[in-house]
Structure 1
Amino acid sequence: MAIVGIDLGTTNSAVAVWTPEGPRLIPNALGEPLTPSVVGLDADGTVLVGRAARERLATEPERTVASFKRWMGSGHVTRLGRGQSFRPEELSALVLKSLKADAQAHLGTEVTEAVISVPAYFNDIQRKATLDAARLAGLPVERLVNEPTAAALAYGVESKQEGTVLVFDLGGGTFDVSLLELYEGVMEVRATAGDVALGGDDFSEILAAAIAEDQRVALDTLSPGDRARLLRVAEAVKRGLTAAPVTAYEIRLGEEVRRGELDRARLETAAAPLLHRLRAPLERALSDSGKRLADLDGVILVGGATRMPVIRSLVARLFGRLPLVHVDPDTAVAQGAAVQAGLKARHAALEEVVMTDVCPFTLGIAITENARTAGATQVMLPIIERNAAVPVSRAHRITTVHDGQDHIAVEVFQGESLRPDDNIPLGQVPVTLPKAPAGTETAEVRFTYDINGALEVEVAVISTGLRRRQVFRNGANLDEAEIEARFAALAAIKLAPREQAENRALLARADALYADLRGDLRQHVASRVARFEREIAEASGSEPEALRAAFAADLDALEDHRFRF
């Protein structure tokens, strides 16, 4: 039996396990450490997860979906193919099921529990949606770990360096920043901030818009296939500009092949609004922690998007130093989640490691300051302010605002807005009290927040001693009936067998190549696909590996004859 750590990412996901030698990444069925967070439906209704699905984004956009992490907890529904509808939790569950299967196959034992990372700035609804996804995948999860905290764990365990560090985590769909102090085996989070709608995908989108502008094409007139191809080329250009100052591109839109090039200066100009948005969370984290730039001993870059020179240049300018590159930005979070799993399992090698965290959002209640004022409205009264170190307990006294008031319904919210309706409602705790003139009866409201994200709210009536207590923990957005129904529905879905993963990924790659080519080359691809399918069906022993290698080599050669992307 094993506890694993999982980075459930917007672009890619990964699973790792703690070993006496440290965190170890677990390869998927293709032998790769990263599994694309992409889900698709094959022609026969089989669900594809990972690289095989990603290869189909351009050729089967109506039956393939990516970046669904951004929709977690929103109620968004994606329709794939005919009649197949999925919520983000269900799509994420399919990715988690794939990761669980990879871990069990690699470890040779059952995975009984997981620690899953989430963006530090995920709110209560988004965190609960992540737990729903885990339950739908049949994966018990008691602990969620913030992504930058996980990255810091990986960094701290590996480097054993001490000091104050800032984790700059820019992934495919979210941006987090956390400030930590590392000393004598203790990793203390001092502050965290972020933007759950800012990531590498946004830089790909602005590059897609730049390419469309250069080619004088209106984005809203493109077919789903052309738009998918445009985003694929934009992603390739983004990677190209990471390695070189100028990148050329070629793309087929409709029946026409378009060519052009983009340089880093163009990216930086187009990305100026995104780069500006990165500053606010950085400034908030520094302000909340009480630290100055001069207090920082290092900046750790996490997330694949931080490979972009425009991001590294921004960090260097803002902090006046080069960022640290001790950890792999693509896998640091998964490795840190594995460290957290090791801490939970009380592995002896981690006995000297202590991890503390903070409450990322303000927790408070709705109050009416003066009910006798015309047009009086409710406001948010903070009980535990954001970035308070956890575990933490805070109390505040409230009084009645109406004559003869015989009850108080303490409404609990999460968020930073003055207006309760603009925050996330967590629930309420009702109490009864003796009738008396306004301002006479008093109740003490105590919030206690623990390391696992559970909030206990106790309301005590001072005059009578009556107490009401309720715990708001990382539970579920979906009720039990919905969980059971969706679990059964997902269990009935036919997932592509792990042993066919390499074949399906190659065939999906060939499909994408076929869609891009024309004429004789296209027919050559079709005949080569038919030959490969026949050979694989008839193969035995070690033949499949040789057949796959030959097919991949043929695809490489064919790609040399087409336009680049």
Structure 2
Amino acid sequence: MIIGIDLGTTNSLVAVWRDGQAEMIPNALGHALTPSVVGLDDSGAVLVGLAARERLITHPQLTTAVFKRYMGSDRQTRLGTQLFRPEELSALVLKSLKADAERYLGEAVTEAVITVPAYFSDAQRKATKIAGQLAGLKVERLVNEPTAAALAYGLHQNEPESRFLVFDLGGGTFDISILELFEGVMEVRASAGDNFLGGEDFSEALIDGFIEAVGKQHGLTDKEADPVVYQALRKQAEQAKRGLSGTAEVAMELRYQEQSLRWAIGEEAFLKLCEPLLKRLREPIEKALRDARLKAIDLDQIVLAGGATRMPAVRKLVAKLFGRMPAMNLNPDEVVARGAAVMAGLKARDETLNEVVMTDVCPYSQGIEVSEQIATGRFQPGFYLPIIERNSVVPISREQVVSTIVDNQMALHVSVYQGESRLVKDNIFLGEITIPVPPRPAGQISVSVRFTYDVNGLLEAEMTVAETGEKHRLIIEENPGVLTPAEIEEKLAALAKLKIHPRELLPNAQLMARADRMFQQALGEERQWIAQATARFQSMLESQEENTIKQGRDELKTLLDQLEGEGWL
């Protein structure tokens, strides 16, 4: 069984292609969305999802979020006494989604299609594949998030021909893709994006606004000095951001050093606060349109994907840029996961999808470092020679010929980069190889450099020395920050030893974590009510009687909802 997974910065989802349609798979709490949050409970067992998110405020030293932004790097996060890489944290989320799918489908799940931001680098894509491997999944395909959204959207189209733009603003990344649908063939024309722009940044803008408006005058100047305060502010900012989707004004409140801090903000003030972020959304749109050689008027539809597109500020910007309202007939939170399920169905050769053909493009240019002649007999290194240009249709293979530049040169050093800048120092280094060549006068030895870029966005470079016919291959695997095969085996063994919190007990764990958080945040009578209700529920848990526990869970949830409102996802 192949499943489709949207591995998100803020939330993750899993879906399956079944009976001719994409079907969302609920988690243990019955929700489609699983927060991309990992933590350890008091016994050291791993918690994933809403139960972990509730503990961000009460146990920040044991809980972490937004780790997708560091995929492909060697950053490590400490939870208690243990250190975790981004791939390991993502693997724990994927493991949880895999368990949800197996429970829902009633069979083992061994393969998956996982979505990635279109603008993910080679290292980030490899790290995502490794995360799947660590979770016990064979990653059949990595598919770009806006491409997945387009697949889901395209299947709902009645027109045989359509040209549309997917505006995908998730929790941590922003992607733009322009696509054409023609007689069952969906072709990506261009992609652009920003890997460090998403809904989380709008939340951070609100936190900064709160500190500037009311925090500084009460001694709150550094949002990251106290993890508990920071997580409390993040929760308030997230709720305020969502509240502004339906209310003219919302308030953020924080209990800080025996003081109650309150800040009201309206939609106009929020727009002003987020102006730098909204400006950053424009550039990738303009770049994608230029690369596709199109104008905004040439597009038939604008499709929204990603939960952050629910913000009125974002929708107004889209309407202003394109002179029309975007399509909102598909749930932006789910559209990428549904598209991943479509791709899983295509990989499984489902007969209901036999007329759908999908093509994609590489989002970055890939090339090598070369030296350029600056005077007779004088060469300067550090220049970039693109071999595969950005937005070329994949899979693709391209070749360039380079030559030696000094007499009797014994070797040629090939350094591979990714990016768009003229100088390699401003691009991303991917790998290098040194090739022996026969000594000859300068310029008489030539080497053809062939790049092959596959549908998963992974690059292979092959160098052939023309005079000897010798071939040298460089598979870009050992990027800085990407685990080696030996390290993967070591991490697999370490993850296998981790104790996972029992899935069937997650509803109780989530509710207890929520009650603990609210107790810490409450004062006076409210705090007493929460304490009494939590104690009653705890005694019911100890009874181990399922009906009694369910009744107690419903009672405690009702009280918490009355005090706080329903929990957000």
* 2:365 aligned residue (345, 362, 373): 362
Task: Report how far residue 463 of structure 1 moved.
Answer: 3.0
Task: Report how far residue 459 of structure 1 moved.
Answer: 2.2
- Measure the CA separation in 1 of the matches of 2:472 and 2:60: 52
Aligned to 1:190, the other structure's residue is in SS state strand
- Measure the CA separation in 2 of the matches of 1:340 and 1:73: 24
Deviations 1:133-173 (A, max 9, x none): 11211111131100000000110112244311100000010
8 Å contact kept, 2:110–2:136:
no
The root-mean-square deviation of aligned C-alpha atoms, in Å, is 2.0
Matches for 1:366-445 after TM superposition, within 5 Å: 366-370=369-373, 376-445=380-449
- Measure the CA separation in 1 of the matches of 2:519 and 2:14: 33
Deviates more, 1:25-34 or 1:400-409: 400-409
Aligned to 2:413, the other structure's residue is in SS state strand
Matches for 1:128-167 after TM superposition, within 5 Å: 128-161=126-159, 162-167=161-166
Deviations 1:270-302 (A, max 9, x none): 111111111111111111111111211111111
Alignment match, 1:73: 72
8 Å contact kept, 1:366–1:413:
yes
8 Å contact kept, 2:125–2:458:
no
Deviates more, 1:527-536 or 1:194-203: 527-536
- 1:552 to 2:557 alignment: yes
- Measure the CA separation in 2 of the matches of 1:277 and 1:155: 25
8 Å contact kept, 1:248–1:260:
yes
8 Å contact kept, 2:447–2:465:
yes
Matches for 1:30-429 after TM superposition, within 5 Å: 30-81=29-80, 83-161=81-159, 162-217=161-216, 218-220=220-222, 223-370=226-373, 376-429=380-433
Residues 239/489 of structure 1: CA separation in 2 closer, same or farther (3 Å cut):
same
Aligned to 1:180, the other structure's residue is in SS state strand
Q: Look up the equivalent residue of 1:107 and give its one-letter code.
A: L
Aligned to 1:220, the other structure's residue is in SS state coil
- Measure the CA separation in 2 of the matches of 1:471 and 1:233: 46
Aligned to 1:130, the other structure's residue is in SS state helix
Task: Report how far residue 361 of structure 1 moved.
Answer: 0.9
Aligned to 2:149, the other structure's residue is in SS state helix
Residues 23/525 of structure 1: CA separation in 2 closer, same or farther (3 Å cut):
same
- Measure the CA separation in 2 of the matches of 1:326 and 1:559: 30
- Measure the CA separation in 1 of the matches of 2:458 and 2:222: 45
Aligned to 1:481, the other structure's residue is in SS state helix
Q: Look up the equivalent residue of 1:523 and give its one-letter code.
A: Q
Task: Report how far residue 466 of structure 1 moved.
Answer: 3.1
Q: Look up the equivalent residue of 1:478 and give its one-letter code.
A: L
Please report the TM-score for the alignment, with normalisation by the length of structure 2: 0.94
8 Å contact kept, 1:36–1:54:
yes
- Measure the CA separation in 2 of the matches of 1:442 and 1:416: 25
Aligned to 2:408, the other structure's residue is in SS state coil
Task: Report how far residue 520 of structure 1 moved.
Answer: 4.0
Task: Report how far residue 192 of structure 1 moved.
Answer: 0.4
Deviates more, 1:529-538 or 1:210-219: 210-219
Deviations 1:202-247 (A, max 9, x none): 1001111112222142431753212211111111110011112211
8 Å contact kept, 2:536–2:552:
no
Residues 521/247 of structure 1: CA separation in 2 closer, same or farther (3 Å cut):
closer
- Measure the CA separation in 2 of the matches of 1:547 and 1:25: 29
Q: Look up the equivalent residue of 1:416 and give its one-letter code.
A: E
Specify every segment of 5 or more residues in structure 1 that has no aligned partner in the other structure, as ranges.
none
Q: Look up the equivalent residue of 1:129 and give its one-letter code.
A: A
Aligned to 1:477, the other structure's residue is in SS state coil
Alignment match, 1:463: 467
Deviations 1:7-54 (A, max 9, x none): 000110000001123110100000100000011222221221111111
- Measure the CA separation in 2 of the matches of 1:235 and 1:539: 36
8 Å contact kept, 2:27–2:97:
yes
Task: Report how far residue 558 of structure 1 moved.
Answer: 4.2
- Measure the CA separation in 2 of the matches of 1:187 and 1:297: 14
Residues 558/413 of structure 1: CA separation in 2 closer, same or farther (3 Å cut):
closer
8 Å contact kept, 1:359–1:388:
yes
For these two proteins, the number of residue pairs brought into alignment is 559
- Measure the CA separation in 2 of the matches of 1:267 and 1:389: 40
Q: Look up the equivalent residue of 1:108 and give its one-letter code.
A: G
- Measure the CA separation in 2 of the matches of 1:431 and 1:394: 19
Residues 471/61 of structure 1: CA separation in 2 closer, same or farther (3 Å cut):
closer
- Measure the CA separation in 1 of the matches of 2:542 and 2:3: 35
Residues 270/326 of structure 1: CA separation in 2 closer, same or farther (3 Å cut):
same
Identity of matched residues, %: 53
Residues 343/392 of structure 1: CA separation in 2 closer, same or farther (3 Å cut):
same
Residues 406/101 of structure 1: CA separation in 2 closer, same or farther (3 Å cut):
same
8 Å contact kept, 2:91–2:131:
yes
Task: Report how far residue 128 of structure 1 moved.
Answer: 1.2
Deviates more, 1:189-198 or 1:399-408: 399-408
Task: Report how far residue 533 of structure 1 moved.
Answer: 1.4
